[in-house]
Amino acid sequence: MVFRLGIFAVLIAALAAVLIFGYSILNQGHKAPVAAAPPPTEQILVAGVPLSGGALIQPGNITSSSMLISAVPPDALIDTPGNRSSLTGAMVKSPIAQGAVILNSGVIHPGDHGFLAAVLAPGMRAVTVAVDNVTGADGLIWPGDKVDILLTQSIAGAPDGKSIAAETVLSDVRVIATGQELIKNASNGSGGPNNQPASTVTLEVTPEQAARCLVAVNLGKLSLIVHSAASSTTASVPQQTPGPVWAGQVSPALSAAQPAQQTVTTVNVISSGTTGEFKF
């Protein structure tokens, strides 16, 4: 009896094992296939706008694009804050199409040997002028911007209406550096230390324009007037500049305050060998 019960238990256990094995095989057949993992990608810095040869890169010119790691060029720049900052103010060696990868070898970085000389167009010179928060547009001027140079001066001994004059000394010149770094720091929006606007601006000018600028520095205060980004003229092309603006044109009260100049008539009278002078 005990022997029969043992055989029966063994049969039950074997049947249970067969059922469990069959269920597992059947369940595996109904499982959905596992999707293959997508290939790894990387965010690469590319040109957000078309960049011409000789252009100075600004933060708005840079964007990123997802690219397969296997297709990333060896000289490409990964999208990191450090790489974005290093490209700001860099000069493009040859044209880069919009959306094209910006290669490290395709630009000259500020601080690289010969950077300033490479930035200058043939025959052009670099001249540096001092600016403050007002005259330098409160640190909002970037390398690559086009500006006019406005001279404001006081004229000693002139009537009130002519005592102060403002005139355009240079027109449509390119900014090639702000501050000492030849670059505007994209992280703090300033070219100077301690988050302060740059105190100097370096401009690309002709030799004659450099001389005019240095004379103007000693005549009065210089201010930078930013041009529209749509401007296409260059500093090497002579341009007509407007005439000076006088204090009396801005404030008619200065001219009105001048007392009217009285007309004096002088008559010489000769009588009996004597000469007399009468004014009326």
Query: What does the pLDDT look like over 12-60, one tens digit per residue?
Result: 776 667 667 666 766 665 555 667 788 899 999 999 999 998 888 988 8
Q: Is the pLDDT reported for residue 226 higher than 50?
A: yes
d(CA 103, CA 85): 15
pLDDT tens readout for residues 107-143: 998 778 888 888 888 899 999 888 876 555 556 788 8
The closest alpha carbon to 137, from 230, 229, 201, 226, belongs to 226
Cβ distance 103 to 73 under 8 Å? yes
pLDDT at residue 238, as a whole number: 44
Distance, CA of 256 to CA of 159 (rounded, Å):
11
Tell me the pLDDT tens digit for each residue of 79-105: 999 999 889 888 898 999 999 999 999
DSSP assignment letter at 114: T
Confidence of residue 233 (pLDDT cuts 50, 70, 90): very low
What pLDDT score was predicted for residue 258?
55
- Give the C-alpha separation, 30 to 190, whole Å: 63
| pLDDT for 161 | 74
Q: 257 versus 174: which is more confidently predicted?
A: 174
Q: How confident is the model at residue 173 (pLDDT cuts 50, 70, 90)?
A: very high
Question: What domains sit in the chain, N to C, each tagged with a CATH number?
Answer: 39-119 (3.90.1210.10), 121-258 (no CATH)
Count helices and strands (H / E) in the chain: 6, 12
Quote the pTM value: 0.58
Confidence label for 63 from pLDDT (cuts 50, 70 and 90): very high
Per the prediction, the chain carries an average pLDDT of: 77
Q: C-alpha angle 42/46/48, rounded to 5°?
A: 135
Structure token pair of residue 38: 């997508």
pLDDT exceeding 90 applies to what percent of the chain?
Answer: 23
